[in-house]
Chain A
Amino acid sequence: MSELTLIVGLGLCLFSIGIVGFVTRRSGLIALMSLELMLNGVNICLVAFARHHNSPEPSALVMLIVLVAAAEAALALALFVALFRQSGSVDLDDYRMLKG
């Protein structure tokens, strides 16, 4: 098993754990953490590809994702604070206003 396969496998594991966490946990904070996990799984894969192909572009993408993730985390946390102030809960199950 080559180095690349191992590292991509690690990224895939992180991504899958993130998906399962995002879909199953009720707490919005945990879901957010799972989301970060998924992003980082992707990042690891990208870094591996950059090294394998000896190319800088995937690394640039990684930097972008880190940046966006940071912004997203800040925004999401602020939203959760606001939601908690309003309804006293950050459970995703409690917010179903868009039910069809």
Chain B
Amino acid sequence: MDAEFTGATTSLLRWIILFPLLGAIVNGLIVRSRNIKIAGAIGTLASALAFVVSLIVVNQYGFLSEDLGYIVDPWFHWIQVGRINVPFWLEYTPLTGLMLLVVTGIGTLIHVFSLGYMSEEKSPYRFFCYLNLFLSAMLVLVLSSNLVGIFLGWEGVGLCSYLLIGFWYEKNENTAAGMKAFVTNRVGDLGFFIALFLLALHANTFQIRELLTYFAGPSSQLSPVILMCVLAALFWASTGKSAQLPLYVWLPDAMAGPTPVSALIHAATMVTSGIFVTVRLWPLFATQPEILDWMLWVGMATAWLAALIALTQRDIKKVLAYSTVSQLGFMFVALGVGAPVAAFFHVVTHAFFKALLFLGAGSVIHGMHHDQDLFNMGGLKSKMPQTHLTFLVGTLAIIGFPFTAGFFSKDMILAKAFEHGPLAWTLLVLAALMTAFYMLRCYALAFWGKPRSKHAEHAHESGLSMVIPLIVLALGSLLVGWMETPPILFDIHALQQAIEGSWYGMSGEIVGHSGHHLSHATEWILVLVTTAASLGVAYFSFKKFSNQTSRDSASGTVFEWSQNKFYVDELYQFLILRPLSFVASWSWKIVDTYLINGFVHVIRDGLKFSGQLLSFAHTGNVQTYAWYLAAASAASLLLSWWVIS
């Protein structure tokens, strides 16, 4: 342990990981109950215990103290090779604490929701086992004090995501979607690997605290090129896990999994881990403005593309999935313009309202007997009143209705984008307007108008275990925005303080950034313009779709492109999969059949032929052998006599 150690050690943190892990073991290996009540109770209890411990920890250390020191749970020694020492330590920072509450809190709500949603499931223990396993992996990712531990969690959540996407494995397309998610994430994980190897070679440490304090300051011993490569590789990894261009394609397909999974993993927690890691390492990123530029434009392109696709999707979960990709793009734009606080703020608010929207969609799908087509819904407002109301809250939060959670976080991102430049701001506002359009379209199609199918006519409100999480999340979506407000409204900066307190005193200011702030007048104008535009578009969209009667939608070239997801999957099929499978079949048919088989066959035939030749000598008659023996002895005698003389 280094000399400058200040702070405290605790052994509480490990229990946050252990409870869900124990839950997974008990559910998956020991009890294996097919009764949803038993399996669900174990899973929910494990998750709730993790939440309680998180609350205790957060209550003990808080978010806002100026100098928290280094609060660490030195669990065990993990890897020690040569000069590299990787302990399995867990660490509390205010940022970690926030993420803990989000993950365990929303996780617990989603466990409760699953009690109702998965009630007809044949093997609920498997579901809750995976869900708990996911939670513990995610908590490893959040809590680990070093990048190798984060990588462990990173892979763990990837595995659980794969398992849960393909949860209904009887259907081929579900397992295919799981595989797609796994393989695409693997492409991203390569980036994480490269970052780890570079750090092992050049930095000799993976501890985040040491990385930040040694290499983020002006007296960094790490060459800027190496640091840039490390951070670029980490960004690459983030595009995989956090579904950015060009690796976002797995997320929409991941909707094949059960809806609570989509809410927990593919909206609220796992997909934000790329942003979480970036914010955790922010002082390092702040030294590399080029990478931030990349983040900005990759995020912008993703936000746009996904929003455009979301405009026309018919499947309610697909709309939400593309919306998630788009919102993740917003978060990367925020990182790109140098506003990690705004990005993480959006992570938190998005976790609430997107989990709410997904669970609401789950409730709708449950009521609709697993029909997910928006154009088969309609008129659910009166049939599912609580779901309708909470879904409305989620919708308003995501489009940035004043004083909801999304309003504050999105406004903060837009303000930071405006500080960065008018182009980024304009594009981002347009993307936000698209958000308003597709979300109101989704809401209006599902809940307003007249039922457009039998399922919609006979839809029913979901049970209490599904409604309560919706209500709690709706309250969250209304309230969590108040932890960080713009200077013109109350000027609360709790989140900023918490995040800046997580960088061990390192500065988060971008190198060479002229930090000019917006005047109050400009901020007022921005807020009013964007809010008014958003609400206008939302109203237009609502008007357009709330009386939709036909089950068809519009047509046109752009529409077709959007509905077909801009043929990105087909493009990847053409650019990557087809060449790959061509090379594979070529190497099978030519290299394997002729080259490798040929080589093996030559050896085989040679051995066989020589064996046949030699077998003529084996007559089976013992007297022949005696002849050979006598002749050979005589020959060797003669030979030695000849050699001696």
A23 contacts the other chain (CB 8 A): yes
B621 with A96: CB separation less than 8 A: yes
Please name 9 further chain A to chain B contacts, defined as beta carbons within 8 Å, in addition to the given A23-B630, A95-B620, A100-B615, sorted by A numbering: A23-B627, A24-B623, A95-B622, A96-B619, A98-B618, A98-B620, A99-B619, A100-B616, A100-B619
Q: Within the complex, which residue of A22, A24, A99 is in contact with B618, where a contact is CB–CB below 8 Å?
A: A99
The 8 A CB mask of B406-430 against A (1 = contact, 0 = none) is 0000000000000000000000000
B525 contacts the other chain (CB 8 A): no
Question: Chain B contacts of A97 at CB under 8 A?
Answer: 620
CA distance A24 to B616 in the complex (A): 20
CA distance A100 to B620 in the complex (A): 7
Q: How far is the CB of B108 from chain A (nearest CB, A)?
A: 76
Interface residues in B, total, Cβ within 8 A: 13
Q: How far is the CB of B613 from chain A (nearest CB, A)?
A: 10
CA distance A92 to B623 in the complex (A): 8
Q: How far is the CB of B129 from chain A (nearest CB, A)?
A: 61
Question: Chain A contacts of B622 at CB under 8 A?
Answer: 92, 95
A22 with B626: CB separation less than 8 A: yes
B554 contacts the other chain (CB 8 A): no
B623 with A100: CB separation less than 8 A: no
A22 with B615: CB separation less than 8 A: no
Which residues of chain B (596-623) have a CB below 8 Å from chain A? Answer: 614-623
| 27 pairs, CB–CB < 8 Å, chain A vs chain B | A19-B626, A19-B630, A22-B626, A23-B623, A23-B626, A23-B627, A23-B630, A31-B623, A92-B622, A92-B623, A93-B621, A95-B620, A95-B621, A95-B622, A96-B619, A96-B620, A96-B621, A97-B620, A98-B620, A99-B618, A99-B619, A99-B620, A100-B614, A100-B615, A100-B617, A100-B618, A100-B620
Q: How far is the CB of B196 from chain A (nearest CB, A)?
A: 60
The 8 A CB mask of A19-42 against B (1 = contact, 0 = none) is 100111000000100000000000
The 8 A CB mask of A62-98 against B (1 = contact, 0 = none) is 0000000000000000000000000000001101111
Which B-chain residue is minimally distant from A100 (CB atoms)?
B618
Question: Chain A contacts of B621 at CB under 8 A?
Answer: 92-93, 95-96
Identify which of A23, A24, A95 gathers the most chain B CB atoms within 10 Å of its CB.
A23
Question: Chain A contacts of B614 at CB under 8 A?
Answer: 100
The 8 A CB mask of A33-61 against B (1 = contact, 0 = none) is 00000000000000000000000000000
Q: How far is the CB of B510 from chain A (nearest CB, A)?
A: 83
Question: Chain B contacts of A19 at CB under 8 A?
Answer: 626, 630
Question: Chain A contacts of B627 at CB under 8 A?
Answer: 23
Question: Chain A contacts of B615 at CB under 8 A?
Answer: 100
CA distance A40 to B615 in the complex (A): 34
Q: How far is the CB of A25 from chain B (nearest CB, A)?
A: 8
CA distance A19 to B619 in the complex (A): 19
CA distance A98 to B624 in the complex (A): 12
Q: How far is the CB of A85 from chain B (nearest CB, A)?
A: 19
Question: Chain A contacts of B616 at CB under 8 A?
Answer: 100
CA distance A5 to B616 in the complex (A): 41
CA distance A19 to B617 in the complex (A): 20
